[in-house]
Structures are given as structure tokens and as C-alpha cells.
Chain A
Amino acid sequence: MNSVLWTALAIFHAVVFGYFIVLNTYYFVMSVFAFGRLRQYTQRLKASDLGTLPGIPPATLIVPAYNEAKTCPEVIQSLLRLEYPDYEVVFVNDGSTDDTLEVLRDRYALQPAARFPTADIETAPVHGVYQSLTHPNLWVVDKDNGGRSDAINAGINYCRTPLFCAVDADSLLERTALLRVVRPFLEDERTVASGGIIRIVNGCTVTNGRVVDIRLPDSWLGRFQVVEYLRSFLAGRVGWDALRIMILVSGAFGMFRRDIVAELGGLNPDSVGEDLELTVRLHRYCRETDRPYRVAFVPDPVAWTEAPSTLRVLGNQRDRWQRGLIDTMLLHRDMLLNPKYGRIGMVAYPYFFFLEMLGPVVEVTGYVVFLVLLASGLIPLSMALTFLLIAVVLGTILSVLSVGLEEISFRRYDRFSDLLRLLGLALLENFGYRQLQSYWRCRGIWSYLRGVEGWGAMERRGFNRSPS
């Protein structure tokens, strides 16, 4: 019996160890590739003046919104001041129960206006289309609630430009964000989608729709999310782009070719991970039709977004992300390790499937078994501490690498004190925050298995305003 137990433990130990090594190696490799790509990109910026390039295609900003009365004025204000030669804003009021539409009607003098639909994607009923008298390039589509994907699809139906950019209603775009995120479409006509970076606005000061003072959030939760986002975007996405395995264009800020997305039927309204699902579907479609294509990531155009500030809301968010991930992975599982889908099928998909989707189970089980073994004295304390320290140090290394990538590139957190905080957070997140993430993601798996649907509520606190 004992030998069976030991064998089982040994096998489990090997699985956990293997997962641990593969995951950290993956992140390390991404960071290395990200380093080269970031250096290349920041140097290219010095030689580029994209604003003077002729023939920049018109674009539409589609902003799905549900109960965003508090933040939508600032968001729209920032969107109407972007530096881009020709663009429209289509704000989709997705059946808000607060006074989102009234706020917009008062602020922007909305009047009913017929608009020719350019696609037939099925959505919840649209009650009306409005145009602003003060800002003719601002349109509002008012519809029944159907969820974020449904709202974006309604926006796509009314999109008249070759490109559209889906932007979250809680995001503030920097002035040159569109000019930067459109760049891959100019340099390579095969580009079908391009993602920008999401940064956390909590703690920053916003004036007239612009982030004017960048600071770390006051709360520990917000700060940990900053480190997490740096890891995810600067190491993860830049690395993916360098390896041409860009499998996720974030729904909070991504630019797409309208014609192809409309042809695909828009976003999947049944998925809570609609951004991942759309990007995977784009890859799938282009490969199945032998269409030369590119999905890019640009590390510079920034969308500032409000991150969850309570454990409950953050937990719900991560729960939802995990459900969305599982949904997509299972929906397109025939891409897994399928050479027909190139690097996406052979590299990116396996990573997401085995490490991101199943990984939390391995992690949480690993923690539990570890604690049981430790408590029962079956492993010596010295060994336990050694392995624990290795895990902590490896995790910290990856986060410090991301902070380093920030230092060599954009250095938005300019203060030395912020750098020290970020480095400290890289260590501290291993003592509770990461474990919480694993728990929430496991909870997401359990939610998925139970058939839980929906987004949960996001509490908006609004942006810090400076007296102006």
C-alpha cells in the first residue's frame, strides 16, 4: 500500500515539477524574445512619423457599454480627441439600466439618425441609432442587452470603415494610440488584427480624458495587477508577436479588419472569452482558406483601464477569464497539435490548453499535496523550504524580467520609488496573490463544469480627477 502511495506521489511530484519547469521555461523564452522585439520597436519609433503617412485607412471605434454612466463621459471625451486622420466612434449602449444613454444624450446632443447597416450579424434588437450634433463622428446605438459580444457585433453591423477597433467602455486611449495600433496594417497588408497594450489606470490622475500623472495604485491588489499586466503584455504578448503566435488580441483594445470579422459572423455571443475566441477563429479561418495573414501586437499604443479593486470582483473576473479560456480551447480543440494550423496549433494552442487551462488544477493540487506532505512529516522541512524557495525565486525572476522590459522600453512608472515597489511586488505576489489566482482559476474551471454563464458585475469607481 505504501509503495502504491509513494509511487502515486512520485508521479504526481514529477507532473507538478514538469509543469513548473515547462511553464517557467516558456515565460523565460517569451521574455527573451520580447526583449529583442521591444528594443527593435523602441528604436523604430525614433525613425517613424506615422502621423504624416498618407492613406491611413479610416477606422471605427466600437465601444460596448453596460451601465457606464460614471465613466462614459471621460471615455468618450478621450476617444473624440485621438490623433487619427479619419475615424468614427460607435458607442453601443447594451441595454443599460442606469442613465448611460441619458448622460450621453445631454452631453453630446444626440439626435435620432438612420444609418446604413454594413453587415447582418444577428444581435439583440436595436432600438435606435443616434448621431451627435456637436460631434458628428460620434454615433450611439441603443439596443437590448445582449452581452459584450452582442454589443460589439451591433457596432460591426454599423461600421462603415475597413478597420474597427473594439475598446472597452472603461478604457482611456492615449492620443496616438490609434496611429500606433494601425501601424501593422500599413506595413503589411496581410494584417487582419492588431492588439495594443492594456495598462492599469487605478492610482493615475486623469484630466479631460487624458492620463496626466502615472502612479502605481494605492491598493496592494491594484499593484499586484500592474505587475501581472506587465508580465502578460510586455513579456507574453510581445514574445508571442516575435514568434508569430499571437493567439489573443485583447478585447479591451484591438483593431480588426471589418470585412473578415463580419464574414466570420462577428464575435461569439455565447462565449465569455470572446476576444480569445475571435482571435483563434481568425487564425483558423485564415489557415483553412490558405490566406496569407498576420495577427500583430504593438507594445506602445496604450489603453488605460480600471482594474478590479476588490477581491470579489477580481475573483469574478478571473473566474470568467478561465471559463472563456476553457470555452475556446474546447470549441477549437481540433487545432491542438494539428500541423495544419502551423505555430498556432503546434505551439500556442498547446500552451494555452495544457498550461493555462489545466495548469491551475496542477498548481492547486500541488499546493495541497505539498502542505499535506509537510504537515505529515513525509517530506523534511529543509527539502520543502528549498523547493518552495525555488518556486518563489523563479516566479520572482519572471516578474522582475517584465519590470526590466518596462525599464528598457517605455518606463511609464518613472519614479525610482515605483521601480522599487514593482520589484518588491514581484517577490511579494508569490505569497498569496499567485495562490489566489490559482484558486480563482480553479473556481473558474468548476464554474464552467457547472455551466455557470455571465460576466458578473464590475464596480466602477471612476477615474481620479485632478482639479481643472
Chain B
Amino acid sequence: MDALPFTDSFPLDLSPLDGTVLALQVLVGLLGGLVGTAIVLHVRRARAKKRKQQLEARWAPRLDAILAGTAPFSALDDLVASDEDEAVLAFLQQHVQEAPPADRECIQRVAYPFFTLVPPPLAARRAEQRAYRLHRLSQLNGPNVDATLRAALHDASPFTAMVALRALIRRDKMGLRADEPPLPPLVMGSLPRFKDWRQASLAALIAQVEGIARPLRRQLANDAAATWVRVLAARSLQHLADRAAAPIAVTLLQRDTDLPLQTASLRLLEAVGDRSHVPLLRQLCGSDNEVIRIRALSTLAHVGAADAVPYLEQALDDPSRWVARQGALGLLRLGHPNILHTLAESSHPRAALARQVLTHHRRAA
């Protein structure tokens, strides 16, 4: 090839062209490798899917026979090769999820021996693997399930710990932990792991634990506890409608506590309060804070009966439309739609709001 006519003057040194060709070759090789990898991945997954179907076709009739009572629990063992233990557990897990309650225990007994042939759940390197194996162990009621789940509450990964927590709570609800250590201390001790979780969801979850109310009340009353724990406790107690928590909520409302704790206490009182709390609630209806006024009105409407009506009516003139709305909803709840009907037909600034609330009420009814 002739010498390039301008190389002497062109500012770029073009001799790296050879390097460029080399780079191109490397890139083409890389591209070829990636394409090959994509194809291999696809073929492997297609084969895995086909193999799974073949295994299921082999195992399903035998499992049906076991469930029908015409074959012993160990009848599946001779159909499972030594490298198929993980696969058979996955197969059984899928069936236990879909099976009627009567068949679940049977499937769990079939699965039990296979757990001794696979690595223990917490030995997995990746958090997601540990979580999956815990989930599987729990669903199939494998060996040492409770001890493993309890240990997993301290797992380095909050995701894995949450899988363990949910599994423990589920087992507790199903009565599968009769001889195991009580759950409430374990749950309360693990709460800091889940600090970032959505409080409302966490509160609803831990409210499912049998016997959790007492430790929750202790935390709610504990001034040394972190605010978020106390708020969580209040929300859980609200789910439980725990009347014994009412005095604690009242004490917190009578003191100048954090706003989140005050609102959580008001929500709790809404679930467990009674007319003896009306004076306190009336006082809070005059709070400078809009959120406190809203929650106080809502609670008043739930517990105050006739005592509440004047305050709810007064709230219709509140500068905040949210407070006014709460007042309107409260009046409906206490069976005074006539006040809203009158308002809706007047020229009062809140006439439109009254119509909106009445419409919503009619639709809901």
C-alpha cells in the first residue's frame, strides 16, 4: 500500500492502525463470545425446562399415589437420583403451595428425608439463596426448621432475616411451634433489623404474633426506647385493638411527645378508646397542629358518640379543609347526615365538601 500522502502533516500518528486492527479483533472475539454465551444460556434453560418437565412427569404419579394413600411416604425415594435432591425439593415445594391443607402434611413428610441430602440453608453464600432455602425449609416443614429460622433472624442480610421472620410468624399462626421458644421476645429483639421497612406493613405483620401485646405495651411505655419502635408498637397495638394499651396512649398524649408518637397514640385510641377519653380528645381538637386536630376528630367520632357532635360540627369551620373533612366524616359516622345535607344546600364555604362526603357515603353504603 502506498504511503499515506498526508502522514507527515496530519497531527495524528496513524501507526496505531495496527493496534486498532488488533482491538477490532479482540472486540469481534468478545462479540462472538457473548453471542455464543447468549445462545448457550438459552439452550441450557430450554433443556433445564424440559428436564424439569420430565422429572415432574416421573414424580407426579408417584406423589399422587402417596397422597391417595396407596403408596408409603418413602415411595418417591427410588425415583430420585443422587443429583436430583434440589430438584425434588423444588417440585415438592411447588406442590405444597398448591395443595389443599389435607395434603400438605403428607407432602412435607415426603420431603423431609431429602433435606438431609442438601446443604443447610444458612450455609449458602448468597443472601438470596439463603432466603430461598429458608422459605423452602419453612414451607416443607423440614428438619430443625424453627432453630434454623431463629438463627436466620440474625442473618447479615435484612432480606433473609425478613423471610425468616415471616416464616416464623406463619408457623406460629398455624400452631407448628408448640414446643419451641416463645416468639414475642424473638420478634421484639429482631425489630432493629427492619428499621427501614415500611412501618405500617411491619406493624401489621408483628401484630399477627400470639402474645405480642404485652411486650409491645412495654415498648410503647418505655421512654428510653427509640421513637420509631414506640410508634411501631402503637400501630401494632392498634391492629390488635388492645384495650390495655389505652392508658399508655393517654399518658403519651398528655405529655409533649414527638408528633409521630402523638398521632400513633391517637390512632391507637381510635381503636381502643372509650367515652372516658372524650375530654382529652376535645382538648386535642383545639391543637395548633393540623394533623393532631384531624386525628383527634377521627378518634372522637369513634369513641365520643353524642359528646362528639358539637366538636365535629365546629370542625366544619376549621381553616383546614382536611380538618373540616374529618369533621364531616365524623358526623356521618355518628349518624348525623342531616347536618351535612343542610350544609350542602347552603351557601356555606364548605357546601361542596359536604356534597363530596355525602356522595362518598352514599356510594360506600
A and B from one complex: yes
Chain A residues proximal to chain B, CB less than 8 Å: 2-3, 6-7, 10, 13, 40, 43-44, 46-49, 53-57, 113-116, 131, 136, 185-190, 378, 380, 382-383, 386-387, 389-390, 393-394, 396-397, 400-401, 403-404, 407-408, 411, 416, 419-420, 423
Q: Which of A2, A10, A383, A423 contacts B17 (CB 8 A)?
A: A383
Q: Which of B4, B21, B35 contacts A400 (CB 8 A)?
A: B35
Q: How many B residues touch A, CB cutoff 8 Å?
A: 59
Contacts of A44 in B (CB 8 A): 128, 131, 159
Contacts of B11 in A (CB 8 A): 6-7, 10
Chain A residue at minimum C-beta to C-beta distance from B4: A380
Q: Judge whether A114 and B356 touch: CB under 8 Å.
A: yes
Q: Judge whether A423 and B38 touch: CB under 8 Å.
A: yes
Shortest Cβ gap from A376 to chain B (Å): 11
Contacts of A49 in B (CB 8 A): 135
The 4 closest A-B pairs by CB, nearest first: A55-B204, A43-B128, A55-B201, A54-B204
B173-225 residues with Cβ-Cβ distance < 8 A to A are 196-205, 207-208
Chain A residue at minimum C-beta to C-beta distance from B12: A10
Q: Judge whether A423 and B35 touch: CB under 8 Å.
A: yes
Beyond A47-B135, A416-B42, whether A390 also contacts B27 by CB under 8 A is yes
Beyond A6-B10, A43-B126, A400-B31, whether A57 also contacts B132 by CB under 8 A is no
Contacts of B197 in A (CB 8 A): 186-189
Q: Judge whether A115 and B356 touch: CB under 8 Å.
A: yes
Shortest Cβ gap from B29 to chain A (Å): 10
Pairs A–B under 8 Å by Cβ, sample size 30: A44-B128, A44-B131, A46-B135, A47-B128, A48-B163, A53-B166, A53-B201, A53-B205, A54-B204, A54-B205, A55-B198, A55-B202, A55-B203, A113-B363, A114-B352, A114-B359, A114-B360, A188-B196, A189-B197, A190-B196, A383-B14, A386-B17, A386-B21, A390-B24, A393-B28, A400-B31, A403-B38, A411-B42, A419-B38, A423-B39
Chain B residues proximal to chain A, CB less than 8 Å: 1, 4, 6, 9-12, 14, 17, 20-21, 23-24, 27-28, 30-31, 34-35, 37-39, 41-43, 45-46, 126, 128-129, 131-132, 134-135, 159, 163, 166, 196-205, 207-208, 325, 352-353, 355-360, 363
Chain A residue at minimum C-beta to C-beta distance from B203: A55
Q: Which of A113, A131, A378, A387 contacts B20 (CB 8 A)?
A: A387
Contacts of B9 in A (CB 8 A): 2-3, 6
Q: Which of B31, B202, B352 contacts A396 (CB 8 A)?
A: B31
Q: Which of A6, A57, A131 contacts B198 (CB 8 A)?
A: A57
Q: Which of B6, B43, B45, B352 contacts A6 (CB 8 A)?
A: B6
